[in-house]
Amino acid sequence: MSVQVSKTQVDKWVHTSCGGCYGQCGIKAKVENGIVTKLEGNPETPAGSGRICAKGISQLMTLYDPHRVNYPVKRTNPEKGVGADPKWERISWDEALDTIIKKFRNMKDPRGTYFQVTTVQTSEIRFAVPAFMKAWGFKNYWVSGGGLWCGNGAHFMNGIMHAAWSIIPDWNYNNYTLYFGCSKGHGAGHAALQSAQWVADARARGMKAVVFDPYLSTQASKAHEWVPIRVGTDGIVVLGMINVILNELGVWDAHYLKLKTNAPYLIKPDGHYMRDPETNKPLLWNEELKKAVTFDDQNANDKVALLGTFTVNGVECTPSFQLLKEHVRKNYPLEKCEKVSSVSVSTMRRIAKEFVDNAKIGSTITIDGKEFPLRPSAAIFFRGSQGHVNSGWNCLILDILNQIVGAADVPGGAMGHGPPVCHGHPDTGKPETIPYACPDGLMVVKGWVYDHKPYPLREVKPPKRLDLQDMFPCSVYNAFTTCTKDWEKYMTDFKIDYRPEIMINFGSNSVMTMANAEEVTENFLKKFNFIFSFNIYQNEFTEAVADIVLPDCSFLERYTPCVTFPSTFCHPTGMDHWVWQIRQPVVDPLFERRDFNEVMLDIAKRLGVQEKYYQACNDVIPVRYGGEMSEKYALNPKDDYSWQDICDRVLKDRLGDNKGLEALKKTGLEKWPTKPEEMYWRWPVNVRVPIYFEFFIEAGQKAKELYESFGRPDVMDYRFFTPLAEWFPCPSHENKDPNFDLWAFSWRPSFHTQSSTQNNAWLDELSMADPFVYLIQMNEEMGKSKGLKDFDIIWVENSDGKRIKGPVKLVQGMHKEHLGIAGCHGHWAKGTPISIGKGQFFDDLINPDLAHTDSLTQGSDACVKVKVYKAEGREAR
């Protein structure tokens, strides 16, 4: 094997951004004699604050991994399927691109194109994906893992409630955090390195965390208390706690609820807002004036009612808060919550009280001369609580806890993350991303990751997409619920007049990240006539279905104009700096590797659609990076640009004339100080958020009418479209077969990124020595009752007879009724030999069908009832 060595032989440090996960930490890379020899944190940036994690450092091994894809290859074995041998044959770039262009030109209908991309290279998908979709004219795309490994319900809910992609506690001031199935601050890519530091600081000064999780996770082991809970029951526990707070303790932040939420909005008996007949604005009841006022009236103040019943225009109506209070009292008695969740009544009572006590309702703090409410309590969540049929509702319920005590985007509370409010660079005012109010006063995000915003909801219209994502009014980006044998029937029932033809895949390994591999491949991926894929490794996806694989650059070999906006997972909370970070090649691409964005632009040019491509770039930028493109730097559709030209223009437009690509390459970043009203924006920004989801009623009704008109009312559970917080059981909770006595769930180790890092030799070496990651964890008492010993090989089988096997590890840190398996392991692709057979492929137990889909958000259910029995053999350890 030979490698072209870079021309410069001088040692140098290159400042760029890490791509080991979606956290986008700033790093610097040392190049010695043309070889990258060191990766370290860049202390100049708040995104990572000079630190670096195991995944990041280990990328050295990925850059030079001899198993990488280095040349374009084509499939010579026409047979596709899980475990098929593609019999790759090396081809030239010209042949590869010619074939691709020919396939595009011969399409029956361009709408039959599908873009499937990875969540890991999150900044790389901002340009080529939407631009090519618009240029070629199709609407099908999917971010792999979107359902199973990422946060469908969480991002949806955070968008509505916090204008943000995620929430984390403000550890600068937080004293009490409730964790529901998430590891923020303990390795999760949510500002991973800064969060780790702050949560440690907070812990050191006495912050207490209580973790609800079926297993003793990293965060649970660092926490003050671990509360074992059955999977998927987070919502009902919190409804119980809300019941305690509202009806037993009688404590809430009335000032916040009255001014920053729709808690005082008057609700008619039909569930809808009582509206002002003239302006159509929702009405509130001012108790002092004894009359109804619109939500934006100057009398919509502290005197509005949260409780009671009032008659407005002859109709009896009730503030939504009163409805919520009654609802939880009637429908969520603590005994019921205990029965479902296994969390005791006394625990719920105690923790609910601790939560409100720590919120210190009424307290304030002055930061940089500005006074803010201080609410040092927060409830946060992620994968664990939202990987269920009740994904959307679990998340909304959890955040209502924050809303009740006013602990949202104020010092100490639950913070939208990355901070959604940015006033822009001092020189240019961009990116400017201040949320604004809809006509009903509720918050709408600005500066969002996708074109479709979480609120207002997607209009209910006949689905047009191959994956039927547009069938779900609240779906943010999941798309896999149609991987069933009757997909074709959905197509015909919904009169979709085109069929899948070409799939473009960027880095995704959907065979391993959607659900059980067989169904995904047979029922979905094999429907495409032609699939070409950008990859750094040949993985389960490429070997199963790809026709042409193009050698992609890794993040150390490519340009990306911005990785820290839209601010999702990289900015710290609290006062620090905004940072605009770029990604740049540390070494020239090795072998024949080429960057994805560059190649997609090339394909657009060869197809002759570059004008639309450039125009689409111009359209994308304002949504992603807040603020229109100036005329000076907007792409002129008639011109010809390289990918680096585009990067340069984006940078100059956002940061100023003298901050183009060449300038940014020197430092890798541009930063400017944050303001307290950006970080703690909840009160400065004049918007409200819902605790009563009136808009669900209409969405549900319309959906029902629509799907009835197609003769398919069965596609959704319309009960989910209710305005008041409700917990719905998962299919696993309703499986009462005593043979299936355990819940299996998957968890994410902090030193792996989804399915992308298992072939990393260093991370594999760590994992081999780790006592949990490659093993199936089971409660020791339960294991012994089944006659199992450590490292016995066991079968784990679901009620469809699908089974996986692996060595068991009996532990104390596991709920008795549960079985924990690290997700995305157990690879089998020949292209990633290090990862083969290490750990288990949990997703094989998961069904990609509507029964396991959240009707609200299209989130996928990832918990499953299983039985366990001994297989042959033991693992030697």
Partner 1 sequence: MTRYGFAIDLKRCYGCYSCQTACKAENSTPKGIDFAVCVPAEIGTYPGALRQMLPLVCMQCAKPSCMEVCPTGATTQDENGIVQVDKNLCMGCKYCMMACPYGARQVVDEVETYFPDAGTTELDPYEKYVKDQWNSGMRGCGIAVKCDYCMHRVKEGRQPACVACCPAKARYFGDISDPESEISIVIRRERGEPLNPEFGNEPSCFYLPPR
Footprint of partner 1 (CB under 8 A) = 1, 3, 5, 32, 35-41, 50-54, 57-58, 60-61, 63-67, 185-187, 192-193, 196-197, 199-201, 203-204, 216, 218-219, 221-222, 226-228, 750-751, 761-763, 765-766, 770-772, 779-781, 811-814, 816, 833-834
Rounded-to-integer distance, Cα 541 and Cα 527, Å: 14
Task: Give me the least distance between CB of 544 and partner 1, in Å please.
Answer: 20
Q: Which residues pair with 364 in a beta bridge?
A: 373
Rounded-to-integer distance, Cα 849 and Cα 861, Å: 9
DSSP for 785-801, please give it: HTT--TTEEEEEEETTS
Task: Give me the least distance between CB of 702 and partner 1, in Å please.
Answer: 46
Angle at which helix 93-105 crosses helix 596-607, to 10 degrees, equals 50
CB 76 within 8 A of CB 64: no
Is the CB of 665 or the CB of 816 nearer to partner 1? 816
Helix (H, G, I), strand (E, B) or coil at 17: strand
Is the CB of 58 or the CB of 118 nearer to partner 1? 58
Is the CB of 522 or the CB of 780 nearer to partner 1? 780
- Could you tell me which of 303, 307, 320, 345 has the C-alpha nearest to residue 400? 320
- The phi, psi pair for 203, rounded to 5°, reads -60, -40
Is the CB of 619 or the CB of 780 nearer to partner 1? 780
Task: Give me the least distance between CB of 108 and partner 1, in Å please.
Answer: 41
Please name the helix (run of DSSP H) or strand (run of DSSP E) that holds residue 782, with its range, or none. Answer: helix 780-785
Task: Give me the least distance between CB of 485 and partner 1, in Å please.
Answer: 37
Is the CB of 1 or the CB of 10 nearer to partner 1? 1
Number of H helices, E strands in the chain: 27, 33
Is the CB of 28 or the CB of 852 nearer to partner 1? 28
Is the CB of 226 or the CB of 569 nearer to partner 1? 226
Neighbours of 94 (CB within 10 A): 9
Task: Give me the least distance between CB of 201 and partner 1, in Å please.
Answer: 8
Cα distances from 472 to residues 515, 831, 854, in angstroms, run: 19, 36, 9
Question: Two tokens at 57?
Answer: 């450092």
Task: Give me the least distance between CB of 214 and partner 1, in Å please.
Answer: 11
Question: Two tokens at 414?
Answer: 């639950």
CB 561 within 8 A of CB 17: no
Is the CB of 32 or the CB of 708 nearer to partner 1? 32
Is the CB of 191 or the CB of 716 nearer to partner 1? 191
Task: Give me the least distance between CB of 56 and partner 1, in Å please.
Answer: 8
Task: Give me the least distance between CB of 364 and partner 1, in Å please.
Answer: 30
Is the CB of 6 or the CB of 119 nearer to partner 1? 6
Is the CB of 73 or the CB of 227 nearer to partner 1? 227
Cα distances from 77 to residues 87, 534, 539, 547, 549, in angstroms, run: 6, 19, 16, 9, 14
Task: Give me the least distance between CB of 203 and partner 1, in Å please.
Answer: 6
Task: Give me the least distance between CB of 655 and partner 1, in Å please.
Answer: 28
Is the CB of 389 or the CB of 778 nearer to partner 1? 778
Task: Give me the least distance between CB of 547 and partner 1, in Å please.
Answer: 24
Strands across the sheet containing 208-213: 225-228, 208-213, 176-180, 377-381
Task: Give me the least distance between CB of 57 and partner 1, in Å please.
Answer: 5
Is the CB of 272 or the CB of 816 nearer to partner 1? 816
Task: Give me the least distance between CB of 807 and partner 1, in Å please.
Answer: 16
CB 625 within 8 A of CB 431: yes
Is the CB of 4 or the CB of 642 nearer to partner 1? 4
Task: Give me the least distance between CB of 670 and partner 1, in Å please.
Answer: 24
Is the CB of 61 or the CB of 634 nearer to partner 1? 61
Task: Give me the least distance between CB of 590 and partner 1, in Å please.
Answer: 9
Task: Give me the least distance between CB of 186 and partner 1, in Å please.
Answer: 5
Cα distances from 238 to residues 164, 324, 354, 385, 576, in angstroms, run: 22, 13, 13, 11, 33
Is the CB of 60 or the CB of 514 nearer to partner 1? 60
Task: Give me the least distance between CB of 747 and partner 1, in Å please.
Answer: 13
Is the CB of 37 or the CB of 642 nearer to partner 1? 37
Helices (H), ranges, 307-431: 320-331, 334-341, 345-359, 383-386, 391-404
Rounded-to-integer distance, Cα 452 and Cα 469, Å: 12
Rounded-to-integer distance, Cα 238 and Cα 240, Å: 5
Helices (H), ranges, 5-127: 54-57, 59-63, 93-105
Q: Which residues pair with 225 in a beta bridge?
A: 210
Rounded-to-integer distance, Cα 555 and Cα 540, Å: 21
Please name the helix (run of DSSP H) or strand (run of DSSP E) that holds residue 764, with its range, or none. Answer: helix 761-769
Q: Tokens 């600005």 identify what position?
A: 446
Rounded-to-integer distance, Cα 67 and Cα 835, Å: 11
Rounded-to-integer distance, Cα 690 and Cα 320, Å: 10
For residue 299, count CB atoms less than 10 angstroms from its CB and return exposed for 0-12, middle for 13-18, buried for 19 or more: middle
CB 825 within 8 A of CB 841: yes
Cα torsion 749, 750, 751, 756: sign: positive
CB 271 within 8 A of CB 694: yes
Task: Give me the least distance between CB of 37 and partner 1, in Å please.
Answer: 6
Cα torsion 151, 153, 158, 163: sign: positive
- Could you tell me which of 365, 442, 448, 379 has the C-alpha nearest to residue 413? 379
Could you report how far apart the first and last alpha carbons of the chain are, in Å?
Answer: 35
DSSP for 239-284, please give it: HHHHHIIIIII----HHHHHHHBSTTBEE-TTSSBPB-TTT--BEE
Is the CB of 344 or the CB of 630 nearer to partner 1? 344
